[in-house]
Amino acid sequence: MKAWWLWLIAAAPAAGEGTFLQQVRTIYTVEQGLPSDDVRSVAAARDGTVYAGTALGLARLAGGRWEAVKEFAGAPVEALAAGDEELLVAFRGALWSRREGRARRLAALPAGVALRGL
């Protein structure tokens, strides 16, 4: 089984000559709190919160660690999109909205449809 890792480029202070932003990266796995190493989608909200949709649920990056989002646990997150104050999540055959910490089901997705992005 091939493991996938989420890599985020961190804005780091200059480390001297020969160090470039492209060379600075952080690898996140289940050891840092992701529900799964199989990351399927990533979205960044305007407030700087980063969300990762994995094969076993949704997580958000807080204080350098990933925290599972309970409403979206235990099943694959197919796609994510972040707006100004809302996160759209394709999860368990439906499109969901997450706003102010609350999840609301918007609509069922047609059977057999595989989302690649929102």
pLDDT truncated to tens, each residue of the chain (118 aa)? 344 445 444 444 555 566 676 677 788 999 999 999 999 999 998 888 999 999 999 999 988 889 999 999 999 999 999 988 899 999 999 999 999 889 999 999 998 877 777 7
- The residues, any chain, with a CB within 8 Å of residue 30's CB and separated by 6 or more, are 36, 37
Task: Supply the pTM of this predicted model.
Answer: 0.77
From residue 3, give the alpha-carbon distance in Å to each of 8, 29, 63, 65.
Answer: 16, 9, 24, 19
